[in-house]
Structures are given as structure tokens and as C-alpha cells.
Amino acid sequence: MAGGLVIFGTMAVASPSPVVGQSHAPGIATEGAWNDPRVLELVDRARALRQSQTVDPDFRTYTAQARGYVYFFVDRPDSASQVLVKADQVALDLQWRAPGATRQTIVGLRDEKVLPTNIRYHLDHLTVIQDDFGDRIRLGDGDEVAAVVHPAGPASESLYDFLLSDSLTISYAGGTEEVRVYEVRVRPKRMDQPGFVGSIYLDLDRAAIVRMSFSFTPSSYVDPYLDYIRISLDNALWMGSRWLPYRQEIEIRREMPLFDFLAGSIIRGKFDIRGYDFNVDLPDGVFSGRSVRSLPVAEREAFLFERGLFDDIEETGGLEPSPTLEAVRTQVRKVVEDRVMSGLAPVRVHGARISDFARYDRAEGIFMGAGVAFRPIAELSVRTTAGYAFGRERASGGVTLSADRRSEAWTPVVDAYWDALGDIGGRPGSTLLENTISSAAGSRDDLDPYFRRGAAIRFLRSGERDLDVTLRFEEHRGAVDVVSDGPDTGFRPVRSIDEGRSLSLVVRHELPLPWAGRAALTATAGRLGERSFASIEGDAAWAFADARERWAGEVSLAAGLTNPGAPAQNAYLLGGRHTLMGHGYRLFAGNAYWLARLETTVPVHRPWLGVRAFASAGSTYLRGMGLPPDWLARDTRGLRGTVGLGLSVGWDAMRFDVGRAVWGTGWEAMFSVAPRFRAWL
């Protein structure tokens, strides 16, 4: 399965030249009707060309090299963030002999696990497609897609509908030569059967395949965990008449078949094919045995790659889908319109995080809940939640309607919720799961809870500069301690809030910074009851590492400012976990704050154990903002800080830190989960 990206074609004799341009071909009729005689004749020519066994004496053999990357990572469909688990880099030697004998040899292979995994790729995840898949498309050794008929394969006209969608002119050879290409959309006659969905591009002269951009019908997927597979194969023009592999890209996404846990795994591969040499003498023995073989491990690991293992991620700025894969998604959507193209079950049990199913805190007591997720149409996902807080003796719930998130396009999300649990302070002290463990043990509850009823509509725009605009109408209600029998409890008192109905507008903008940094700015304006409020907050972070991987670290800076008349729940709180360790937990409050942090990790026994060192400093400023008397909070009265040491355990997934207050007194020990995992807890 080694997918493809590929630019449109190129040039002839020795190596492909870059495409100068492509445009709609003048004077050529484009979109007609499905199964128009013109398009059926074009597809019939493509089929005849593929089935021809005629050997061209001027094109007997070729050799080439392929270089590629394969990534395995975890994503959340409700956010643009991904967590890289494993990266592989592959080098292949390719041989081909007419009429269709192929051989691929894995000559170089290296990988690095960023997180623990036992994933083993199918062989076709690590190789390229030399024959446009042959007559039957098979992926994952048949475990993913078993035998989908190629749209230009035998008898394809009885299985597929074809539409002449567009015509393009491709320029190459310095703009002196042009090739006309037709885009033909393909859909199965029966969408409930295994089939190809997408587009093939055929050159006008020979009806040879120039590009394939496609996915599959849901019934094509053998593995019930498969959400979708998207593939792009691009060819380049050689010898004046041969379209041969040039660039390929594939994306395979999986989720749990019965549970919608807002977490999916993705395998994404991209390969470039280059260095063609034609009519080379290849002994018969080259093509005996299996079509893919591999050099011994020592030789593969000793291969000298031209690029680094993570160079591609650094150049593209992360693990976002490439424009090519986004184009595949768009093309498939044009073909199938509102049909659901996921291989997952249509209705699944839903939970955005583990604590949505069960949790414990002093404002709810024991909480139990669950939800249901389903897709009524292709672009729309509906997720519902419901639960019951036994200590509070009240039910809560919510529903979210969201369109598929796309880069460079506004994506609407509508939320409605009843008694959703909120937390005062701006910076979470614990995840709900971590808080459940500490609260159930009777030691501490790190939430400052209140409850929200209302609705919100969000518009999200993804890309290098993410933008999120939210209009929210809700009612805020205070919480009480429902688990303590009296004042003699280990829990902090529940802080009161300013209750009432609120209307607010929130704009969040994420953007890159110099030196590989990233920042987020959030502006909020609104009104609660008779009180108006406005705030602006910012976060920035820069990761750094030693070139020899002897240490790595991060510098971060956060700050916020809100007007003095803002509701109490809009105040900023610092102190203790994740802010200023060693100081009283959320002791410092203000309508303005800043917090700077530096941390570094030195591996001791990679990847299992590392030693951490950190330092932080910050302040809060309480100017004219009246806080409820039961808060027992004040501003920092100057600079506060923390220094500490800790351990990083298991791919830096878990951390144990001990911090000492600076410009204050106190020690604090803290166990926590790495930030990239907290959204799932």
C-alpha cells in the first residue's frame, strides 16, 4: 500500500522536468453526463492499453530508486493536534521488465519510536506501487482491502459509472511541450459493494493513467477498525510515451469499531521515485520468487539516507494532511455527495475522555455517564452525552453537531449542554481522571467547580494559522461540596462564583513564531447579568534539543488580562500544580497574570527513564477586582517562583516532580501525565 502524492507529469528522456503549469484545456468539452459515450470510449482505451501485452523493443526494462517516510500517529478528530508514535524512513531499489514483471528491494530502513508501540506494518506499507495496482486493488496483504476491481480493469464498465469531469493541459520540458489530460470521476454502480471511489486522470493521446486519487466504499474494508483509506498515485512522462511512478501518498485511519473515543490512529506514507535507468540488462533470476525482498538488517540500518528521519515533518510543519490528501478527500466527496464513507459502525458508544464514563469530585460525588455517536450524513457527526451525579442527585448531558474538519475552510461546530462541569482559574491543575484518583483517596480535589447550561456555536479554520471563533450563551451556577459531612474535611472549600446568564464572543488564533515556536492568542468579550467583561490571553512555547540528543527541553510563556469588573470565575489563579509548585494551591488570584517556565530532560535509560529539571516564575495582579470572601485568595505581592527536579518515565508519558518554592516557602511532590495525553483523561 505505499500511497502517493505526486505532481502531474514531466518530461522525457533522462529525468522528469518540473511541471511549468497546468490549466484547463481550451476548446475541449469537460463535464458531461455519467456514462456518456465519450467517457466510456476513453475508459475502454485505457483498459485496452493496460491489458495489452505488446512489448515495445525500445522499452524493455528499467531500474529506479524510491525514498519514503511512513508515520504512525494518534489524532483527535475534534482538534488539529496529533501525537507521533513512530517514524520510519525507507529506501527501495526498483526493477521492472516488460510486460509486467516487478521487483522491489528494501535496501535501507530505519525507525524511531517516540512512544511505545508494537505496530508491525504490512509489507505494502513500506513499498511503492509499480503497476497502478494491477486489475485488482489489494491492500494490507488483503487484511485491509481484499480485491477491489480497478476502474480500468477487465469488465469495469459493468461495475462502475464514469463521468468526464474536467480536462487539463500540463506543460513540461521548460514549457515547450504540453500534454492534455482528462479527469474521469469513478463511482460504483452499487455503493453497498466493494469499489473504487474517486478520480483517474488519462492522457488524451494514449489514455494512459497519469494520476489516481481515490478512496473506497465502506464495504471494501476487511478490517472493522478502518475509518477510511485515501490514496494518491502520480506518474511522470518518460521516453515520450511512458507514464511511470513519480510520487505516491497514502493515509489509513483506524478507530475502535464500537467506541467513539475521539481518538484515532493514522498510518501515513509518502514516497518519491527517481533515478530511472532504461533498458538495463536484468538477469532472469532477478524476478524469481517474491516481488519484494529485503536486505539483511545490518545492511538496511547501515544505508546512508540523504535526509534525516524527521526532516519531512520539520519542513511541512507537522503531521497535517498534505494538500494532495486533502484534494483526494474533496474529489471523493464530489463523487459520493452526502453518503457516509467510513468503514466504522454507524452508531457507536461515545466518550470524549475517560472521565466522561466515571469520575469523582466534591461537587458531584460519584458521576457515571455515557454517550452515543453517529453520522446521519457524510459531513455531519452527532455526539451525545448523558450522565448522573449521585452526590448532587442531578443529571447532565449534551449534544455536539460538527462537520468534518478541513484545512483552509471554516468548519462549524454546535454544542448544547446542561450542567457541564466547569473549572475556575484559567489553567487546569489536574485532569479529571487525575483529580478522581486524588479525590477518591480523600487527599485533595484540585477543581474549583461550577456548572454551565447553554449552547455555543464555533467556527474553526485549520492551517498554519488556526482560527477559532465561538459565540456562547450560557447560564452559570455555583457548586457546593456534596461529599463532605462537615467542616472537618481534607477538601478545600468550594469557591462561590457570580451566577447569572452570560453572552460572550471568543476568538482564538494560533500562529507560528520564529525559532520554531508556536503561539495562541485568545480574546473574549461578553456580559454576565449586569457585568461586562473582556480579556486577552496568550501562550507561547519553544521546544529545543541537543543535536546529539543528549537533552531536550521547552521554554514557555503565558499571560492574561481581564477587566476589574469581570465575574469572579474569570479571575486567573496561580499556585501549586503545573504553575508555581511549593506555593499554596491556587492561592494567588488576579485580573492579570504572567507565568514563565523552563524545563529540560536528560535521558538516562532511553526511552524508559530521564531526569528532569525545571524552573518557573510568575505573578498575579489584583487591581480593583473584588473577589468573593470565601476564596481566601490574594495576589502574589511581587515575584514568585519554583525550582525542581523530577523523573520522566516511559517515553516521557508520565512524570514525577518535586518542586521548591522561591520567594516563598514550601515543598511539593507531583505525579502527572504529559500534556499531549491530558485531553483523553
Tens of pLDDT along 473-485? 999 999 999 998 7
Same-domain pairing of 240 and 128: yes
Would residue 13 count as lying in a domain? no
Q: Residue 48, exposed/middle/buried by CB under 10 A (0-12, 13-18, 19+)?
A: exposed
Cβ neighbours of residue 201 under 8 Å, at least 6 residues apart? Answer: 8, 168, 181, 182, 183, 184, 209, 210, 211, 212, 213
| Three-class DSSP category at 48 | helix
pLDDT tier at 409 (50, 70, 90 boundaries)? confident
Q: Is the pLDDT of residue 15 over 50?
A: no
High-pLDDT (> 90) share of the chain, %? 60
Cβ neighbours of residue 557 under 8 Å, at least 6 residues apart? Answer: 538, 539, 540, 541, 594, 595, 596, 597
Boundary of a domain, candidates 494, 529, 545: 494
Same-domain pairing of 412 and 547: no
Would residue 286 count as lying in a domain? no
Mean pLDDT of the chain: 88
Would residue 154 count as lying in a domain? yes
Same-domain pairing of 465 and 532: no
Same-domain pairing of 427 and 571: no
- Give the count of beta carbons closer than 10 Å to the beta carbon of residue 515: 9
CATH number of the domain residue 605 falls in = 2.40.160.50
Lowest-pLDDT range, 17-26, 155-164, 617-626?
17-26
Same-domain pairing of 327 and 355: no
pTM beyond cutoff 0.75: yes
Structural domains of the chain, count: 3
Give per-residue pLDDT as tens, 71-95.
Answer: 999 988 766 678 899 999 999 999 9
Average pLDDT over residues 652-679: 92
Same-domain pairing of 322 and 419: no
Boundary of a domain, candidates 494, 521, 553: 494
- Give the count of beta carbons closer than 10 Å to the beta carbon of residue 677: 15
Q: Which domain holds residue 355?
A: 346-494
Would residue 478 count as lying in a domain? yes
In this predicted model, which residue has the larger pLDDT, 101 or 18? 101
- Give the count of beta carbons closer than 10 Å to the beta carbon of residue 377: 12
Same-domain pairing of 461 and 531: no
- Give the count of beta carbons closer than 10 Å to the beta carbon of residue 595: 22
Would residue 96 count as lying in a domain? no
Same-domain pairing of 332 and 351: no
What pLDDT, on a 0 to 100 scale, did the predictor assign at position 172? Answer: 60
Would residue 419 count as lying in a domain? yes
Cβ neighbours of residue 48 under 8 Å, at least 6 residues apart? Answer: none
Average pLDDT over residues 116-129: 90
Q: Is the pLDDT of residue 371 over 60?
A: yes
Q: Is the pLDDT of residue 156 over 70?
A: yes
Distance CA 499, CA 143 (A): 56
First to last CA, the chain: 34
Longest dimension (CA), the chain: 94
Task: Please give the C-alpha separations between residue 10 and each of 20, 95, 430, in angstroms, as whole numbers.
Answer: 9, 21, 55
Same-domain pairing of 486 and 572: no
Would residue 104 count as lying in a domain? no
Boundary of a domain, candidates 459, 494, 529: 494
Average pLDDT over residues 278-282: 89
Give per-residue pLDDT as tens, 173-189.
Answer: 555 667 888 999 999 99
Would residue 297 count as lying in a domain? no
Name residue 2's amino acid. A
Q: Is the pLDDT of residue 116 over 80?
A: yes
Same-domain pairing of 580 and 482: no
Distance CA 179, CA 524 (A): 53
Same-domain pairing of 232 and 145: yes
Q: Is the pLDDT of residue 217 over 70?
A: yes
Q: Is the pLDDT of residue 571 over 70?
A: yes
Same-domain pairing of 529 and 666: yes
Nearest C-alpha neighbor of 60 from the set 94, 93, 97, 101: 97
Task: Kindly state the DSSP code that residue 206 receives in the 8-state scheme.
Answer: T
